[in-house]
A and B are shown apart, each in its own frame.
Chain A
Amino acid sequence: MDETRIQIGVAVLELILKYGLPMAMELIQALDKENVTADDIRALAYRVPHPDTYEKEG
């Protein structure tokens, strides 16, 4: 296990203690996507608009 994974693991444990495992597990199951395709990865480019976009829309 590399250092990054250890750091993530510690952060995860802290967050579980703070917010509870059941809700966390619910989200994990919801995002348990399988068979990620190249199209799925390309589609990520259309998410996360620039922060100023929200103000123009609003």
Chain B
Amino acid sequence: MDAKLLTKENNMKRLIRVNILFILLLGLIACAHSNFQEMAYKALASSASVYENGYPAFLELHKQGIISDAQKAKGRDLAVKYWAAYHAAQEALEAYTNYQSADNKDKVNVAVNEMNKLLIDLTKYIEPFLKAR
């Protein structure tokens, strides 16, 4: 294996490790900060970082022939679910920002929890492939 490929592989491993830690971050932020809007913002921003780093790395493995079409398709399904949940959470947070009602706050809580759950589902699925490299 040449140095370039080795570097790429190491970067992928580092990225997935960072990704897991971003999930950790979601929890720590949720517990440590009292400002609801800020907490929700950070949950979304950090989950976006997980996705932006992890999913392309997963696709790269498919390009390299390391994962099958079926495995990639399952990863894509999970990614689409996360993508939809993320944008639902973002819209809920924007609505709450515009009108800070208890109802809108509840909607943000539900949407962010769902987004976090789906991000964990996605990460749990793709992590073993990246770790195996």
Binding site for B on A (CB under 8 A): 4-5, 8-9, 11-12, 15-16, 18-19, 23-24, 27-28, 31, 33-34, 36, 38, 40-42, 44-45, 47-52, 54-55, 58
Q: B67: CB under 8 A from chain A?
A: no
Residue contact A15 to B24, C-beta cutoff 8 Å: yes
B90 adjacent to A12 (CB under 8 Å): no
In the bound complex, how far is the Cα of B20 from the Cα of A16, in angstroms? 10
Closest to A39 in B: B97
Q: A31–B25 contact, CB under 8 A? A: yes
> What distance in Å separates the Cβ of A36 from its nearest Cβ neighbour in chain B?
4
Is B29 positioned at the interface, with any CB of A under 8 Å from its CB? yes
Given contacts A19-B17, A33-B41, contact A48 B24 (CB under 8 A): no
Q: Give the shortest distance, in Å, between A58 (CB) and chain B (any CB).
A: 7
In the complex, the 10 A-B pairs of residues with the closest C-beta atoms, listed nearest first: A12-B27, A8-B27, A51-B79, A15-B24, A47-B48, A36-B41, A48-B86, A44-B90, A36-B38, A48-B48
Which partner residue on chain A sits nearest B41 by CB separation? A36
| A residues in contact with B25, CB < 8 Å | 24, 27-28, 31
Q: Is the CB of B83 within 8 A of A15?
A: no
Min CB distance, A52 to chain B, in Å? 8
Taking a contact as CB atoms closer than 8 A, the residue among B46, B51, B56, B98 that contacts A31 in the complex is B46
State whether B42 touches A48 (Cβ < 8 A).
no
Q: What's the nearest-Cβ distance from chain A to residue B118, in Å?
A: 12
- A-B contact list, 12 entries, CB within 8 Å: A4-B109, A5-B31, A8-B27, A8-B30, A12-B28, A15-B23, A18-B20, A19-B21, A27-B21, A27-B25, A45-B94, A48-B87
